[in-house]
Structure formats: structure tokens, C-alpha cells
Amino acid sequence: MARAPLGSLLNFLYQWAGPTNVGEPSDSELLHRYREGKDESAFATLVRRHGTMVFRVARSVISDPETAEDVFQAAFLVLMQKASSIRKQKSIASWLYGVAYRIALNARMKTMRRRRHETLLAEVPEPAEQSATSHDPEPVLMEELNRLPDKYRTPLLLCYFNGKTNEETAKALGWPSGTVKGRLARARRVLRARLQKRGFALSSTALLAVLQGQSTVLSAELVRRTVQAIGACLLRTGSATLSPGAQALAHQAMRQIWLAKCRAVCLALAGIIAVAGGVAGVVGRTPTTEPTATLSQSAFLLRIKPLGELPPQLYQGIPTAVGLSRDRKSLFVLDRWHDGAQLLVQNLASGKTIDRISLDAGFRCAVANGRYVVVVYGRDDTKECKVRIHDPVSLKPVDEISYNPSRISPGQAFLAGDNLILVGTSLEGDIVPGFGGFGGGGVIGNGQLPFGDAHPVVVMQNLRQHANKASLVQPNLPTPPRGICFTGSHLAFSHPGEPKASLALLDCTSKSLRTLRAKLDDTPILMAANKHHAAIQLLDNRLIVWNLAEDKEQIALESNGMVRALALSPRFEHLAYASSDGHVHLWDLAAKKSIAQIKHLRSHQILFSEDGKVLVSSSPAGLKVWSISE
């Protein structure tokens, strides 16, 4: 089929700002014309029709205009390459919005990584991201729109982003007018409720103003360059090319789409194989007198099963799991970046974000155990410290405890039942600059606290009976501890000594301090605990498990490289640690042997559920969740 010259295509573009023709073809017809005959004018019409929406999405996520233009071009390049595989073709607005938003997130992540690298090389403070302020609802709106189902998102985009009336939207989608009006009303209610939870209490009129947005200026030059470059790709003339940034972003997006399809195919095949294997096993089963040792060994090795994987694209910064819901179906995740943080509730199976709260200035740490979600704030300059308690289902704040004036600069939190333990440094002496941390998770916490020369302070607070004053404990240690963990009633920690380091237990109720017989050759740098045991990592990469009740070493093992995170299951069934070899290692403590090595690069936090049947690993590369069954 003959193709129109490129010049006629460019002449067509100069009419892009003109009034919309009532009888203009639908997205489905334009895609068909492009797919069947590579009609460049059809593709140019799609760019004109949806360009303002795509550019608005890009500018809401990316502050740099040049990068936003790269996102714009990359989104339409992906549309060109995937036009034949789009299923819902009556309106491509929702599909194109999702693609543009993911590409914008990828571009922002790439920009942040480049800034971090440049900061490390220059040894200067990292510049703050200026894409949006905390008072601008536009970025949050885009994020919540991306979470809406297509049946709600599509009419919103056509009406408020593309400027169509309800009747025009109904005609474009082939829906009754009543369906369009009902879904628009439902979508607005959902968006308004979600924005309110994110800190933007908007009236119905204000929400409409935010949806319509400020006038997004999409230059005719950008549209011309985009279609000219994509038209050159179609004609293979080489007379115009997309920017390298746009090509790289489009390539990354295409790869993500391909990987998503591969995962879907693999899951489908795995389901078919599992069903077929189960049927074959039942049909082909014959009596046997063979020993069951091999069968039990196979069951032993197969009891670690993946529950879900949450990729880094779901987060603005570095994610850290801080707790699991009681039904083990949802995960509480702290998403923290250089100038902000938010707390998310995410479904383990789908990775979908169920709810979220933005964390205020002064945020220090967060912890959850299915009964409570606790967020701790602290300001050293005003000597203020407050604990905000949220409902674990709705994330609504239900209570707040303030310590003013406070004697603690909080850095880490632990939860055991109704008791909250805060560990930090004293505000009566020297304050460690920049002191803070991600906090522990659930009943099990692990980590180390950079006390420096400041005095450690421990506060125990009963969340159910907080009308009583919190119990302030300030252990009189000769030297600051190097590692610290919580057993549910005691804080276990170590501190260097001569000639060897010691292991100590602090009773959070009686405030008594007991030094155990453990004499460690090297100073511990990581510790984790359950009710009766403490796991300790030493400088020579050895791991030992100390029985706190009997005050003796119970297990010793060699780790595979430097240990980055450490956790003990509550019932002393398993020990898990993340190593510098890029794996999470799981040990059966009764058998004293390794039962699994799971690949997860740069894991910095490991968390067991309260029953020990779910294991979560946190990394800048996302979260991975596994079930541990008998």
C-alpha cells in the first residue's frame, strides 16, 4: 500500500489546534487505519487527541521540562509499537495514561539515581526534588488515578483531560449516558476519599477544579517533532529521530510490558502443570512399601513458596516492611526518600496499594503488628516527641501520645502486644546529629543504633493504658551498646569491654540490668531476638544463637558473606539472614541446616510474621514475600 509523503503528514499537524470535528473517527478506527495501512495521519490524530493528557501526566511527575518531553515522546513511541496488541480500543486514553505514568516514574527514578551518584562524587548535599510541593495535589491525583480501574478512569480522562462532554464520552465508549454519569460520580467519590486520606480535604467543586487542572501548554512544536520522528521511523527515512532519552525510556517500558506478559504466561503454565500433576498423581498412585524418607525430604525442601513480589516502581524511595496484618494478606510498608516518607498498606498477592498516609515532618520510625500501626515523630530542637496510633485496617489516626518536653530523641521502635518500646538518645546530653532509623518490624526487630557519645534512653509505653505516664528507663552502661533487639519483654544488647564484649538483658518492666555469661570475641554488629533467644552477627561473619533463658550458646554457623539483615522466627523454628552474596538464607534451627537460599539483591530488612509462617525481605529492588509451611 502506498504511503503518503512525510510533508503531507507535517502539514496535517498544523491543524492540530483547530476545533474538533463532530464526525471525527474514534480511537478504534484510527488504530485500525494505522495497524492495517500504517496511516501516519491517523497516528497524528491520536497524538493530537491525547497529547495534552500525556504531557500533563509527565509534568506532574517530572519537574524538568526536557525530561517531560522525553516521557511524552516515549509514550507515543510505545503506542506505535504496541498498537496491534491493545485490547480495549474504543478509547486508548486509559491504556495510554498507564503507560505514560509508568514511563514518568521510570524517568524520575533514573533522575534520582543520577543525582545520588553525582552527590557521592561531588561530596555535596543532595539537592531536593522540586517536582511538586507537599501542598500540590496534582502528583497525588495522578497516582490515585493510576490506581483506579479502567471503567472509572477512562470516562474521567475523556471528560476532564480531553474535554469531552458526557454525551461525547458515551458515544466514544459505546456506553449509555446513564452509565457514564454513574461511573463519573463513583470515580469522583473514590478520588475525593483517597485524596482526603492523603492530606487533601477537597470539596466537590475543588475536586473538579483539580481534575480539570491548570491549562497545560502543549506546544505545536513538540507535537510536530514527535510525529515527524515517529513518522520517520515508520517510513525508515532517518530524516528525524527521537531523543536518546525518549528512546531509552520507550525501550525500558517495552521491556517491562514484555516481562509482565512473560510472568502472566508462566503463572498460567504453572497452574496448568500443577493441576495436571495433581490429576496424574491421583490416577497413577500405587501402593508402596518404600521408606518415606525421600518423600519427607522433598516436602521439607518444597515448603518455601513465594507469596508475592512488590517491584520498586510501586515506591517513590526505598521500601521497608514494618509489619503484617493479622490475616497475613496485607503488608505495612514504609516508603522513604531523601525529603519525605509515606506508609502504605499493600496486598501481598496483587501488590496493589490498598491505602496510604503521608508522614509529617519530624518523622523518625514506624512499626506495626496487626493490632496497632504506630508512627513516631521527634524534634530535637523543641524537645518534642509524639506517638501517633493508626487503625491497622483503615489507617485512620485513632490516638496520639505526646511527650513534651521529651527526654528522648527517638530512633527505633518495637511492638509486643500492647507495649511499645522506644529506643533513642538522651536530650539532656549530647544529641547525635541526624539520628534516626527505619525502626523494627512487628514483634521481631533488628538493627544497630549509632549512639556515639550520647546516653541511650528506653521508653516503655502501654498503648491500651496510656493515660498512665510512660516508663522511662535509662540504663547506666559504661559504654554505648553496639547492637540492640527486643525479646518481647527485655532489650538484649551488647557493648564492648575488656578483654571481650558482653551480652546484657534489660528488663523493661523492672528496669533491672543483667549481664550474661556470653563473652564474645568480636563486637556484635547485628542482633535479632525472639522470646528466649538472640541471634548475633560477629565481625568475622560468624552467626551465633544464644539461649537467653539458659545463658548459653546454642547454635553457631558460618554466614555466606557479610550479613546485612537478621531475623529469628517467634517460635524458634527458623533463622533468616540477608547476605552480601545477594541471597536471603533460611536455616532450620532444629536440624541446624540451611533449607533455602532465595535470591534478593541488597536486602536490608527481614521480617517474620507473628506466627512465623510468612517471611518478608525488603530491598531497594522491592519486596519479596514467602510462606513457610510444614
pLDDT in tens, 237-255: 554 567 888 888 988 888 8
> Nearest-CA neighbor of 106 among 267, 318, 293, 248?
248
What pTM does this model have? 0.53
Q: Measured between alpha carbons, how far is residue 46 from residues 60, 67, 425, 614 in Å?
A: 21, 22, 60, 47
Low-confidence ranges of the chain (pLDDT < 50): 1-22, 123-133, 239, 281-302, 429-453
Q: What is the full DSSP assignment across 460-522?
A: EEESTTTTSPPEEE----SS--SEEEE-SSEEEEEE--SSSEEEEEEETTT--EEEEEEEESS
Say how many C-beta atoms besides its own lie within 10 A of residue 366's C-beta. Answer: 27
Q: Percent helix, strand and coil across the chain, each rounded to 5?
A: 35, 30, 35
Computed over every residue of the chain, the mean pLDDT equals 76
Q: What is the pLDDT of residues 171-201, one digit of tens each?
A: 888 899 999 999 999 999 999 988 888 888 8
pLDDT of residue 156: 92
Please enumerate, as own/partner, the contacts of 126-135 that have beta carbons within 8 Å and a separation of 24 or more.
126/338, 128/338, 128/339, 129/63, 129/337, 129/338, 129/339, 130/63, 131/60, 131/61, 131/62, 131/63, 132/60, 132/63, 134/199, 134/340, 134/358
pLDDT of residue 118: 63
Positive or negative: CA dihedral 241, 242, 243, 249: negative
The whole-angstrom separation of Cα 571 and Cα 591 is 15
All cell numbers assigned to 452: 556515639
The whole-angstrom separation of Cα 240 and Cα 226 is 9
pLDDT of residue 424: 77
All cell numbers assigned to 103: 514511563
All cell numbers assigned to 230: 515517529
Q: Measured between alpha carbons, how far is residue 331 from residues 322, 367, 618, 627 in Å?
A: 8, 11, 11, 13
620 upstream amide cis, omega within 30 of 0: no
pLDDT of residue 414: 85
